[in-house]
Structure formats: structure tokens, C-alpha cells
Amino acid sequence: MFDTPIANRLHIAIFGKRNAGKSSLINALTNQEISLVSDTAGTTTDPVYKAMELLPIGPVVFIDTAGLDDVGELGELRVKKTKAVMEKTDLALLVLTGDEDTKLEEEYLLELKQKSIPVVGVVNKIDEKDADVKKLEERFKISFVKVSAKDRINIDELKNAIFENAPMDFERSTIVGDVVKPKDCILLVAPQDIQAPKGRLILPQVQVIRDLLDNDAVVTIIKDSELKEALNNLSKIDLVITDSQVFKYVNETIPKDMPLTSFSILMARYKGDLKTFIEGAKAIDNLKEGDEVLIAESCTHHPLRGDIGREKLPKWLEERVKGKINIKVKAGADFEENLSKYKLIIHCGACMFNRKQMMSRIIKAKENNVPITNYGIAIAYMNGILDRVVEIFK
Ligand SMILES: Nc1nc2c(ncn2[C@@H]2O[C@H](COP(=O)(O)OP(=O)(O)O)[C@@H](O)[C@H]2O)c(=O)[nH]1
Ligand SMILES: [Mg+2]
């Protein structure tokens, strides 16, 4: 479900000597037994690709490689294949154990650095032997995380280090290009209410239009007040993308079988993590009178009458729980410090953020065990149409 094409995933390659625990590390990171682990050196021969959802990073593909120190004729071939992996690596994990001789690893690091690939050092098997991370960091000039793949020690620290070191541009390459076909006819519903900036369209609308044009779609854009005329006049509509604020009206007005989503949901997928947000929306059901809810926006704007974060969402939430909710609105680049008291975070589409900024908020929410969702997904959920509006991503 919600699959990301392999090419758009962050490629994380694992390098290290035979038996350093590279395959075990992938299993630990993904909490699965997918890589073949054995104590016979040289078990992993050809690079093995595993696509998965690695929270908090999102869609990634792990590349498990053979040992750097592989020997013999076959071994040389494997080393060659391992080196070829660097060409598609966005981020490398260099795995060592307590072994004093790190000449090979240093050679690899040099090659990775020449290719400008970010590298996270990993010392594995600390359950057997503790490691002097400081000493390694001085020698390698990269940061190290010490872990035990076997006993799953410090795996979350490693995930955070991966995230911290991931290249900034690991965004999806397209907002909607993967769900529309060339010549598809797309109807955009964009109410130009009092919130809309004078004389122009808001950024998510502009970005979606541009992305649709780049993907050779036929784009029609209307306000909600002209929806009925558009439905009568257009002979073919393959997808409707609406502003979430008029979800209810659009959902009820267009034919039941017409694919529907929103700008905000597209942004949730582009900047954040759709699965996390869908899970997060379900927390709305558990809200009670007096609960604290954080509404977070990535930019500061002057709030006007009918502001979505300050008026509409609070009103809808309170109608639902039939009582008063303690809502805090926090706008701007700095995130709320004390998250743990909140029962739910509802985030804006984050069009002013890059994916990394949005993802670091998702991590903070997860660290504090607070469900997080976004405007469009919360609104769709409250209107009972979430399934319908994420259907196109399945
Ligand atoms: N004690 C200990 N053994 C480990 C750890 N990680 C892996 N191993 C063992 O080391 C051996 C090699 O592991 P494997 O993942 O196949 O290494 P690879 O050749 O680098 O892929 C296996 O016997 C693993 O069970 C660890 O954290 N601690
Ligand atoms: Mg292996």
C-alpha cells in the first residue's frame, strides 16, 4: 500500500568487512528477518536490495553488500559489485566491529567521500566488546554510533543518525506525477476565500498545478462555487483535487466513483509520511473534553476570519467531542518544546518546509508518543471520507 517507486526512495548502502554484521544490521533496522545472516563469511554475494518504510525516514531501499575484504576470484568480483553500489548510494553505513585494523574501512571511506556520499559510522557487536567511539571519530572524522544488531541496542539512535545525515533533497521527485497519466484530465477546486493572498494562488496550489503540467495532464481549475457547472461541462474528469476545507461539499457533489483527493493530502505525502498521518487521525476518536491539542503551522501568517487552524479545525473538533478542547496554535519554524502533554498534533501542509524539516517534527512527535496528522487528513477523517481520498495512492 502507498508504494513509493524504488527510484524515489533514499538508497542506504551498508559497507563493512565480512561478518561485521551488515545483514544483521538491516534486520535490526527494519525489525525483520529479511537478510540472510550466517557466520560463514561471504554469505551475501550479489548486492541485495530491500525496499521498505523506515520510520522516521520514510521510504528507503537498503542495499546489503558483500564484504569489503572478500577474497579469491569470486571475492574480487563481489568487491567490484560492492563498489558499483556506491553509484546509487544516497547514504552509506560503514560497519566495523572492535577490530583494531581498519585500513580497509578507511580506504572505503575515502572513496565514499570522493563521491560526496554522506557516511554514518557504525560499531557493531558492542554486546561482545564495548567500543571507543571517540577514538574512531578522531581517526575517521565521521560520527559513529555503537550498536548491537543481535541484541537490538541503540538501533533508534542509529535511525536518527541516518536521518540527520540523509541528504536534504530526498523528497519525492513529484507531488502527483506518480498517480496521473499523461493527458489525464484533472479538476482542481480552489476556493479563493478571504484567506487566499490577494492576486495570487497559495503555494500548494501553484506547486500542484506545475507538477500536473510537467506530467502532461489537462488541468482545469475552478472555485467550489462553479463545481456543478464544471461537472456538467467537462466530458472527462480523471481526478478531482480539492482544497480540504470544502471536502464535504465536493465529496457530496461529485459522482461517488470519481477519484478524489486534496492539496493538503498530496502535501502530506510529499513532505511527510502519509501512513503516520493516517494513523494519527484515528486519535481524533479518543479525544475528550479538556484534552490538549497542538495545531502546528510551518509559516506565520496573519490570521483572518475563518482561519483553518484557529477557527475551523477547533470548531470541528469540539463539535465532535461535544465539549471544549485546549487548543494551542503554534506557527513558525520553531516547534513546540514540550510535546508530551498533547493528545494529538495536527500539522499544516508544510508547503514552506522541506521534507527533512517536516520529518524531524514527525520524529519528535513519535519520540513523545504523540499521534500526529495533518489538516487535510484530519478533515477527511472527520468527514468519514479518508478511505476515499487516499484510494489513489494504493
Ligand atoms: N554478538 C553479536 N553477534 C552479531 C551481531 N551482529 C551480527 N552478529 C553475528 O555475526 C555473524 C555475521 O553476521 P552477518 O549479519 O551475516 O554479517 P555480514 O557478513 O556483515 O552480513 C553472525 O553469526 C551474526 O549472528 C551483534 O550485534 N552481536
Ligand atoms: Mg551479509
**pLDDT tens digit sequence for 324-333:** 999 999 988 7
Residue 254 is assigned to a structural domain of this protein: yes
Of 246, 266, 286, the residue at which a domain comes to its end is 266
The answer on 148 and 24 residing in a single domain is yes
Beta bridge partners of 303: none
Residue 1: pLDDT over 50: no
The dihedral sign for the CA sequence 36, 38, 42, 43: negative
Of 136, 165, 194, the residue that ends a domain is 165
Order of strands across the sheet that contains 218-222: 218-222, 185-189, 239-242, 260-262
What is the CATH classification number for the domain harbouring 362?
3.40.50.11410
User: 392 falls in which pLDDT band (50, 70, 90)?
Assistant: very high
99 and 224 in a single domain? The answer is no
Same domain as 301, residue 197: no
Dihedral through CA 43, CA 110, CA 122, CA 8, nearest 10? -80
Q: Do 255 and 308 sit in the same domain of this protein?
A: no
Q: Which of the listed residues 19, 35, 79 should we mutate to test ligand 1's pocket, taking the one with most ligand atoms within 8 A of CB?
A: 19
Q: Is the CB of 47 under 6 A from ligand 1?
A: no
> Do the domain assignments include residue 172?
no
CA–CA dist 230, 176 (Å, integer)? 22
Ligand 1 centroid – CA 49 distance (Å): 19
Same domain, 13 and 136: yes
Cis omega (within 30 of 0) on the bond before 56?
A: yes
Give yes or no: residues 155 and 68 share one domain. Answer: yes
Q: Which ligand is nearest to the CA of 21?
A: 1
Asked if residue 170 is part of any domain, the answer here is: no
Give the pairing type, strands 10-16 and 292-297: unpaired
**262 and 209 in a common domain:** yes
Q: What is the mean pLDDT of the chain?
A: 88
Query: Is 358 among the domain residues?
Result: yes
Per-residue HEC secondary structure of the chain comes to CCCCCHHHCEEEEEEECCCCCHHHHHHHHHCCCCCCCCCCCCCCCCCEEEEEEECCCEEEEEEECCCCCCCHHHHHHHHHHHHHHHHHCCEEEEEECCCCCCHHHHHHHHHHHHCCCCEEEEECCCCCCCCCHHHHHHHHCCCEEECECCCCECHHHHHHHHHHHCCCCCCCCCCCCCCCCCCCEEEEECCCCCCCCCCCCCHHHHHHHHHHHHCCCEEEEECHHHHHHHHHHCCCCCEEEECHHHHHHHHHHCCCCCCEEEHHHHHHHHHCCHHHHHHHHHHHHHCCCCCEEEEEECCCCCCCCCCHHHHHHHHHHHHHHCCCCEEEEEECCCCCCCCCCCCEEEECCCCCCCHHHHHHHHHHHHHCCCCEEEHHHHHHHHCCCHHHHHHHHC
Contact indicator for 297, 290 with CB cutoff of 8 Å: no
What mean pLDDT comes out for the span 343-371? 85
Do residue 32 and residue 143 come from a single domain? yes
Q: Domain residues for 206?
A: 185-266
The pLDDT tens digits of the residues spanning 17-34 come to 989 999 999 999 987 765
Judgement on whether residues 151 and 13 belong to the same structural domain of the protein: yes
Residue 106 beta carbon below 6 angstroms from any ligand 1 atom? no
Quick: pLDDT tens for 276-318.
Answer: 899 999 999 999 999 999 999 987 776 667 788 889 999 999 9
CA dist., res. 315 & res. 305, Å (int): 13
Claim to verify: residue 203 and residue 221 sit in the same structural domain: yes
Highest mean pLDDT pick, 101-115, 190-204, 208-222, 362-376: 208-222
Domains held by the chain: number: 3
**pLDDT at position 41, please?**
59
Tens digit of each residue's pLDDT (9 = 90 or more) over 171-211: 667 899 999 999 999 999 999 876 677 888 988 899 999 99
Residue nearest to atom 2 of ligand 1 (CA): 125
391 located within any domain:
no
Whether residue 234 is found in the same domain as residue 106? no
Which amino acid, residue 359? M
Specify if 247 maps to a domain. yes
Cβ(111)–Cβ(122) under 8 Å?
no
Distances (CA, A) of 270 to 53, 58, 111, 212: 15, 11, 32, 14
Q: How confident is the model at residue 270 (pLDDT cuts 50, 70, 90)?
A: confident
**C-beta of 82 in contact with ligand 1 (< 6 A):** no
Residues 313 and 329 in one domain: yes
- 262 CA to middle of ligand 2, Å? 43
Ligand 1 pocket, residue 33 CB under 6 Å: no
Assign residue 66 the CATH number of its domain: 3.40.50.300
CATH number, position 245: 3.40.50.11420
The residue out of 137, 165, 193 marking a domain boundary is: 165
Which among 148, 146, 157, 112 is positioned nearest to 127, based on CA atoms? 148
* Residue 177 domain-assigned (yes or no): no
Phi-psi region of 125 (alpha: psi -120 to 50; beta: other; left: phi over 0): left
Question: With a 6 A CB cut-off, is 24 part of the ligand 1 pocket?
Answer: yes
Q: Is 173 within the bounds of a domain?
A: no
Angle among Cα 134, 138, 139 to the nearest 5 degrees reads: 120
Q: Is 384's pLDDT higher than 80?
A: yes
Ligand in nearest proximity to the CA of 98? 1
